[in-house]
């Protein structure tokens, strides 16, 4: 039986690796998800076969209940709320590792009264730290994304000093826990500090930096799961946790590069404070407004179009009508593509998910590095709900808080149309210089409604 279990774990691990590799490309991502899900199913079944503490009926009851809750919320959640859901998932992953570590600790020390091996007690401490921090940090991220608390950085004097003191306090309590494993007060101190650090490291982060936060918390949840694997001596949990932790760190690095931030700043917390500060009044810009009919005429007369989607597209749920716009353009033999900035939206890959939901072909979604050189030769760029990721101030204005941030070169196209409700600033709180450029036209109104009217006008031409 032991050999069969280990073989099942090996198969599951291979499926995890293959699934993650396939997720590297948009076309194969869905199949990669299925392979990973199959691997997880095999791992769960193999693990359940080893459990003697509770009955199979109780296990199946928990599986059915958890699956029902997951299916309900997966079907209920709106695409605009997907970042919040991902944040909650990260939190629950941390909470699961946190809970397993604590239950194992109390089972060994209070019930069985046995001494814990050094590797195991260190794994418990690491799992409590990362799992607790991930849980409360993810809750704060959820509340910020959901608008329950301010999306702006919440800071106070001595914040970093307090975080450092708490961290050193955790290390001190951890050392005493290793020396005296039977004192429950020590583990309670570890719990409280871990939960507090999760809150204090995320509240100073602004809403504009949430993609970085979500990818980092995802990595934390994986590392917590890996530590829990050492506690339970479960090889597949170690492998799965390592994969999630490593991939999350890599993704965090990509997000940091796209936001022009260092990984050190992310790990220390408190980044994004300057980004959310407005630049001040500055020179006023004069915008040129365009109507629906004129927009339709422009689309009808061009040979190439690039759409830059942003969070505003998600809010307006405009992805489906943009697909209709694409179909109308393609009927006219107009080259039609989408430019995807790594941090557009509120989570990594947010725009890809929305556009895939509208059945837009994966090969039309082009990453920033690959499409930036095409903008100067593009007739028309349509920006839908994006702001900071197309702001030329990131290139041109050293005084701008977002200076140095890699952006999409939409301003270099022959004509730019910005679909936007108003002249409101983006999450970074920075005036967008592009709106005043000679080649920029503003199409004001709800993106879904205005683009629907544009499509109707094109159908009548």
With cut-offs at 50, 70 and 90, classify the pLDDT of residue 48.
confident
Q: Which residue has the higher pLDDT, 111 or 348?
A: 348
Residue 166 domain-assigned (yes or no): yes
User: Does residue 30 form part of some domain?
Assistant: no
Kindly state the average pLDDT of the residues 279-284.
Answer: 50
| Same domain (yes/no): 180, 305 | no
State whether 354 and 234 are in the same domain: no
Q: What is the Cα–Cα distance from 255 to 257, expressed in whole angstroms? A: 5
Among 58-67, 77-86, 326-335, 371-380, name the one with the lowest average pLDDT. 77-86
Residue 266's contacts (CB-CB under 8 Å, 6 or more residues apart) are: 212, 216, 252, 256
Residue 133 lies inside a defined structural domain of this protein: yes
Residue indicated by tokens 């709320």: 81
The answer to whether position 284 is within a domain reads no
- Which CATH number do you get for residue 345? 3.40.50.1220
Quick one: pLDDT at residue 280?
A: 45
Does residue 315 share a domain with residue 260?
A: no
pLDDT at residue 80 is higher than 80: no
What average pLDDT score do residues 381-393 get?
Answer: 90
Q: Report if residue 114 sits inside a domain.
A: yes
Mean pLDDT computed over every residue of the chain: 85
CA 14 → CA 135, 280, 369, distances in Å? 28, 54, 31
**Among residues 300, 388, 411, 446, which one is catalytic?**
388
pLDDT bracket for residue 271 (50, 70, 90): very low
pLDDT confidence band for 420 (50 / 70 / 90): confident
Range 146-163 average pLDDT? 81
**Same domain? 256 vs 348:** no
Contact 227, 162 (CB under 8 A): no
Residue 50 inside a domain? The answer is no
State whether 255 and 387 are in the same domain: no
Give yes or no: residues 320 and 191 share one domain.
Answer: no
Gap between the Cα atoms of 395 and 165, Å rounded: 38
Q: Among 228, 253, 268, identify where a domain stops.
A: 268
DSSP class of 420: E
- pLDDT of 457 over the 60 cut: yes
Q: Determine the average pLDDT of the residues in 321-343.
A: 93
Task: Name which of 139, 149, 129, 47 is nearest 92 in CA terms.
Answer: 139
pLDDT at residue 328, as a whole number: 93
pLDDT tens column, 180-238? 888 889 999 999 999 999 999 888 877 667 778 888 899 999 999 999 999 988 888 99
26: nearest Cα among 369, 359, 352: 352
Asked if pLDDT for residue 114 goes beyond 70, the answer is no
User: Residues with Cβ < 8 Å from 34, sequence gap 6 or more?
Assistant: 19
Residue 27 lies in a domain: no
What is the C-alpha to C-alpha distance for residues 273 and 207, in angstroms, rounded to an integer?
Answer: 10
- pLDDT(323) > 90: yes
Helix (H, G, I), strand (E, B) or coil at 341: coil
The rounded distance, in Å, linking the Cα atoms of 365 and 352 is: 7
Residue 410 lies in a domain: yes
- pTM value? 0.78
- Both 316 and 219 in one domain: the answer is no
Clarify whether residues 235 and 312 are in a common domain: no
In the chain, helix, strand, coil percent, each to 5?
A: 65, 5, 30
Instruction: Say whether both 250 and 323 belong to one domain.
Output: no
Sign for the CA dihedral angle at 399, 404, 405, 407 comes to positive
Number of separate domains in the chain: 2
Dihedral sign of CA atoms 39, 72, 343, 358 in order: positive
Q: How confident is the model at residue 106 (pLDDT cuts 50, 70, 90)?
A: confident
d(CA 123, CA 126): 5
Asked if 386 and 416 count as a contact pair (C-beta separation under 8 A), the reply is: no
Report d(CA 66, CA 81) in Å as an integer: 21
Q: Which domain holds residue 124?
A: 77-268
Is residue 299 located within the same domain as residue 262?
no
Same domain, 350 and 261: no
Pair (263, 164) in one structural domain: yes
Query: Is 446 in the active site?
Result: no
> What's the CA gap between 142 and 120, in Å, rounded?
32
């Amino acid at each position: 039986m032991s050999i069969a279990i280990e073989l099942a774990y090996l198969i599951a691990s291979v499926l995890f690796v293959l699934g993650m590799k396939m997720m590297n490309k948009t076309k194969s991502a869905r199949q990669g998800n299925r392979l990973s899900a199959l691997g997880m199913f095999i791992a769960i079944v193999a693990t359940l076969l080893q459990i003697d503490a509770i009955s199979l009926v109780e296990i199946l009851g928990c599986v059915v209940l958890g699956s029902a809750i997951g299916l309900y919320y997966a079907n209920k959640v709106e695409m605009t709320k997907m970042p919040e859901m991902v944040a909650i998932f990260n939190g629950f992953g941390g909470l699961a590792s946190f809970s397993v570590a604590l239950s194992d600790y109390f089972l060994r020390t209070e019930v069985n009264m046995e001494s814990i091996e050094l590797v195991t007690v260190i794994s418990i401490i690491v799992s409590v730290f990362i799992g607790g921090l991930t849980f409360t940090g993810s809750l704060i991220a959820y509340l910020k994304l959901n608008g329950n608390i301010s999306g702006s950085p919440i800071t106070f004097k001595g914040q970093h000093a307090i975080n450092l003191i708490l961290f050193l306090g955790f290390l001190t309590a951890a050392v005493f826990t290793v020396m005296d494993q039977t004192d429950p007060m020590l583990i309670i101190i570890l719990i409280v500090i871990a939960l507090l650090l999760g809150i204090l490291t995320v509240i100073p982060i602004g809403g504009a930096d949430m993609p970085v936060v979500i990818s980092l918390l995802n990595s934390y949840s994986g590392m917590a799961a890996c530590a829990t694997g050492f506690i339970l001596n479960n090889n597949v949990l170690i492998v799965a946790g390592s994969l999630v932790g490593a991939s999350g760190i890599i993704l965090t690095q990509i997000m940091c590069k796209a936001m022009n931030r260092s990984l050190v700043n992310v790990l220390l917390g408190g980044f994004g404070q300057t980004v959310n500060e407005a630049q001040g009044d500055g020179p006023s810009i004069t915008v040129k407004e365009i109507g629906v009919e004129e927009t339709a005429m422009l689309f009808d007369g061009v040979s190439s179009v690039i759409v830059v989607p942003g969070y505003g597209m998600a809010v307006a749920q405009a992805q489906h009508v943009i697909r209709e716009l694409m179909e109308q353009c393609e009927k006219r033999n107009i080259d039609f593509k989408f430019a995807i900035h790594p941090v557009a939206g509120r989570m990594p890959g947010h725009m890809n998910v929305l556009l895939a939901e509208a059945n837009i072909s994966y090969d039309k979604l082009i990453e920033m590095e690959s499409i930036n050189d095409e903008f100067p030769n593009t007739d028309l760029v349509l920006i839908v709900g994006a702001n900071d990721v197309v702001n030329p101030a990131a290139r041109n204005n050293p005084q701008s808080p977002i200076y140095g941030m890699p952006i999409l070169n939409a301003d270099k196209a022959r004509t730019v149309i910005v679909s936007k409700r108003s002249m409101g600033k983006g999450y970074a709180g920075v005036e967008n210089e592009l709106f005043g450029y000679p080649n920029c036209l503003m199409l004001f109104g709800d993106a879904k409604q205005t683009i629907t009217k544009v499509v109707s006008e094109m159908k009548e031409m």
